[in-house]
Amino acid sequence: MLYVKNISFSYKKTPVLKAISFKANQGEHVSIIGESGSGKSTLLKLLYGTYDLEEGQIFWKGEEILGPKHNLIIGPEFMKYVAQEFDLMPFITVSENIGAFLSNFYPEEKQARINELLDVVELKPFAKTKVKELSGGQKQRVALARAIAKQPEVILLDEPFSHIDNFKKQSLRRSLFKYLKEKNITCIVATHDKDDVLSFSDYMIVLHNTKMIANNTPKDLYNNPENKLIASFFDEFNEIDGKIVYANRLKVVATSNLKAIAKQSYYKGYYYLIEAYLNGETIFFEHKKMIEKNTEIYLLIEK
């Protein structure tokens, strides 16, 4: 189990994280979200032992993870960290990068492992391509494959799909997280993308103003957002009579006590996002069809 106990950290006397505590069991996936500068990447680096803690402790299976004051080489052997900057070898091939730290004593097993990981990150056609010839998204996939090559007990991922285009992102996300679950690898992900969280995380941590303001399942936080920051991560939302209401929970009905005036329709594929005025405030709701500007409509909040 990963046990983070009341840790705090500052950069040059500027507090970044205060009194952060949480647990992650073997094989669990935990996502860390928050605004830019909220400390997501810093928290991952602390878990990896990149910095020394001001307060608190971090344990994996009872073994304390310590910073550079205690270790010449940062990062415990059982853990891998994939940063937003890829530390790859540009002048060798994709396969060679992935297998760089695998044993050469069993070449057939090594090649089989490389082939397995090429499938996981969907790079088999580029196996013999030198890394320097790849796009940013392809390099990110090589970095992911290399990190899991020796099957760590814990993997830390910092915005793992940020350089990958939408044509590949969905299938890659499913492939990678499925693989990590099958291998029982504990995964901690810092992300700004709700699609990294909703279907793949067991728990979701929210950071704000140096503190952890929420730690719960994605389903519970989505259905019962404690504040506007959490709601905004998941979807378009409104504040109506002091309550947070997602745009997809407002429905057009024949009559109700919520009378609004449509102002703009935004095409979203299988639905339109309608901008409207309600009691002098701008709100948004989803609808199957475009609504003409200045049309009066009545809305119902679905539970």
> How high is the pLDDT of residue 20?
97
Q: How many residues belong to the chain?
A: 303
Residue spans of alpha helices (H) in the chain: 40-47, 94-98, 107-120, 136-148, 166-182, 218-223, 228-234
Instruction: Please report the pLDDT score of residue 113 as a whole number.
Output: 92
CA 18 to chain centre: 21
Find the helix or strand (DSSP H, E) in which 84 lies: none
Residue 63, classed as helix, strand or coil, is strand
Instruction: Give, as one character, the DSSP assignment of residue 125.
Output: G
pLDDT in tens, the chain (303 residues): 999 999 999 998 899 999 999 999 999 999 999 998 899 999 999 999 999 999 999 999 999 999 998 888 888 999 999 987 778 888 999 999 999 888 888 889 999 999 999 999 999 999 999 999 999 899 999 999 999 999 999 999 999 998 888 888 899 999 999 999 999 999 999 999 998 888 999 999 999 999 999 999 999 999 999 899 999 999 999 999 889 999 999 999 999 999 999 999 999 999 999 999 999 999 999 999 999 999 999 999 998
3-state secondary structure at position 40: helix
> Exposed, middle or buried, 250 (CB in 10 Å: 0-12/13-18/19+)?
buried
Domains and CATH numbers, the chain: 2-226 (3.40.50.300), 235-301 (2.40.50)
The answer to whether 282 and 276 are in contact (CB under 8 A) is yes
**Please, are residues 225 and 206 in contact by the beta-carbon 8 Å criterion?**
no
Rg (Cα) of the chain, in Å, rounded?
A: 23
Taking CA atoms, 36 is separated from 41, 187, 192, 234, 300, in Å, by: 10, 21, 9, 16, 35
